[in-house]
Structures are given as structure tokens and as C-alpha cells.
Amino acid sequence: MLRRATLLLCLLPGIALGQAGLSGTVTASVTTQGIAGQANRTECASTTSTATWNIAATGITIAVGDKWRLATQLQAGTPNCAATAPAGVQDVIATGATQSIPLVPVRTMGTAASVGDCQGASDVPVLLCAYYLPGGSPLATNQQVIQSSTAFNFQLAIPPKPVISGVTPGDSQLSVSVVAGTATATETATRSVTYTVTCTPPAGGTAVTAGPSNSGTIVCGSLTNGVAYTIAATGLSAAGNTGPASEPSSGTPLPFVDFWQVYKDQGGVEAGGCSTSGAGAVMVPALALLGLLAVRRRRS
């Protein structure tokens, strides 16, 4: 009887002997982003967005027929992956203790973790779990799980509406001051938000987009002097969710050397010249200096 038991252990080492000390990490990067650990609203709901999972395990020897079972579960209230393999996202033939697995559907990852509505106001963190299935069987007594080093975040929150606090005209450009908006019940993404500014000319013209950039001054360049542009700013979450556009503003780029002429064309009455008293005494030298700098810049 002892000899039979020993022979059985030798013939079935993957099931009867088990694999002890399995540990490692699991990460995933959505193909369209290339940033590990997050998916945005569009990717969450898409039927075509995929992710690449990267498994790095220690204490395991892969044999022919072994598989990995990829699984996700909600992180809230469950800091560790389940001890036994659930239905999972998909099973993949194991080729090594370190393996990159492409084309994993992002929507399936969310569905398996009960993410639900991809338009939610709050982010949903999930755990990435990889189960080692000796012989490819989920019923193997020595299946083991590799805990994820970090959670994968379905970033569903969008940034609040930003505020354009000022527009400064320049030569073929507009400098737009953008201030972060205030979070609301449905617009809750406030960390690592960047902003995009769009300057749109009258009908028939081509809009110019600047950014993404942090809040502050964002410059729309390559504009046409003397044309009035409509300006709007939008916030982008770290994963790329777009929030509502700001209230529109406007601005007209002007060449520096023409500021004084524009002032006179719009009814300015100061006579000009360095000897002029009052406001003109201050305005004229300043405008002259700006014009000189602009000319030097053009010549350089």
C-alpha cells in the first residue's frame, strides 16, 4: 500500500504534492492608455477596449497544461483575493512564472467585479487576482492565488466645471487663466486634473486647442490677430474623463506694435509722447517699450 501511494505521488506531482510559497504581483494596463492600474468611463463601457495583464510569480514551476485564471473582485471590504478561483475573467495557458497576457477585455474585468454603471460619480477600485491552476483544472487542490500589489481603479468620476478667470491678448495668441472648479455631487474628480482650452473663431475658422496642462495660464497660439475667439476650458481626470465645459469667454489677439493705434481707433484721447501729462504719460512709454520688444522678437 505504501508503495502504491508513493507511485501515485510521483505520477501526479502537480496535484498531490502542491506548490508551496507562491507569491508575486499582478498589474494591468489598458491598451489605449499605457498607464498601469486605471480605466476611464469610455474604456469601462467599451466592448473593444482591452488590457494587458502582467504576472510575476515566485515559488512556482510551470508545467505543460498549467493555466492562469484571471479574476477581479471589488476591493471594498475585501482586502485580499478570494482563496479559491471564482468564475474569473478568462483562463490562459501558463507559459512561465513571469508572463504578459494581452487582449483582456476591460468590460469583462469590470463586470466580473460588479462595477456596474460606468457613468457613476465615484471611482471603483478592484483587485486583480491571478490563480495558478495545475493541469489547467480549477478543481485542483493546490490552486494558488497571487495577490495584486495595487488595486486597479475604474475611474468613473469626472472633474467639475472649470472657471476662466481672465484672458490676456498677445501677438497671435491668447493667454487664458484657468481655475479649478468646485466639486459637486456628480463631479467629484479633483486630484491630478489637467485642463484643455479651446479657442474657436467665427464660423468657418479652425479652432485651436491648447493643453492638457495644470490650472493656471494656458496659451492658445497660432491665432489670427484682430479676430474675436470664443474660449472654453474643460477638465480631464487622470484617466481621461472629460468634465463639463466652462462658461464661455472671449478674446481677440493683437500685435503689440498696434496697441496704441487700437487705443486711438477706439476713441482714446491722450495725445501721446513722453511729455504728455496724466494717463498718457504712463501709457505711451509702456506701449512703446512693448512695441520695441515685439519688433526685436520678430527680427531675431
291-300, pLDDT tens digit by residue? Answer: 444 444 444 4
CB atoms under 10 Å from CB of 148, counted, come to 22
Answer yes or no: is pLDDT of 208 > 90. yes
Beta strand pairing status for 98-105 and 50-58?
A: antiparallel
Task: Locate 5 and state its grid cell.
Answer: 501511494
H or E stretch covering 84:
none
pLDDT on residue 191: 84
CATH number for the domain running over 163-254: 2.60.40.10
141: exposed, middle or buried (C-beta count within 10 Å: 0-12, 13-18, 19+)?
exposed
C-alpha to C-alpha distance for 170 and 166, rounded to whole angstroms: 13
For residues 180-201, one letter each, b for 16 or more C-beta atoms within 10 angstroms of the residue's C-beta and e for the rest, the string is bbeeeeebbbeeebbbbbbbbe
Residues in CB range of 118: below 8 A, 6 or more apart: 41, 44, 45, 110, 154, 156
Distance CA 113, CA 88 (A): 9
pLDDT digits (tens, 9 = 90+) for 4-47: 333 222 322 222 223 444 688 899 999 887 678 999 999 999 99
Q: Residue 241's closest CA among 98, 73, 54, 45?
A: 45
Distance CA 122, CA 103 (A): 26
Q: Express each pLDDT in 175-186 by its tens digit.
A: 999 999 999 888
Domain boundaries along the sequence of the chain: 2-154, 163-254, 257-299
pLDDT at 263: 66
Residue 148 CA: distances (Å) to CA of 31, 46, 47, 72: 19, 24, 25, 10
- Tell me the pLDDT tens digit for each residue of 80-129: 888 888 888 999 999 999 999 999 999 999 999 999 889 988 899 999 99
Q: Please indicate whether residue 270 or residue 103 has the higher confidence score (pLDDT).
A: 103
- Please state, in angstroms and rounded to a whole number, the distance separating the CA atoms of residues 120 and 188: 10
Q: Domain 2-154's class?
A: mainly beta
Least confident of 157-161, 207-211, 263-267: 263-267
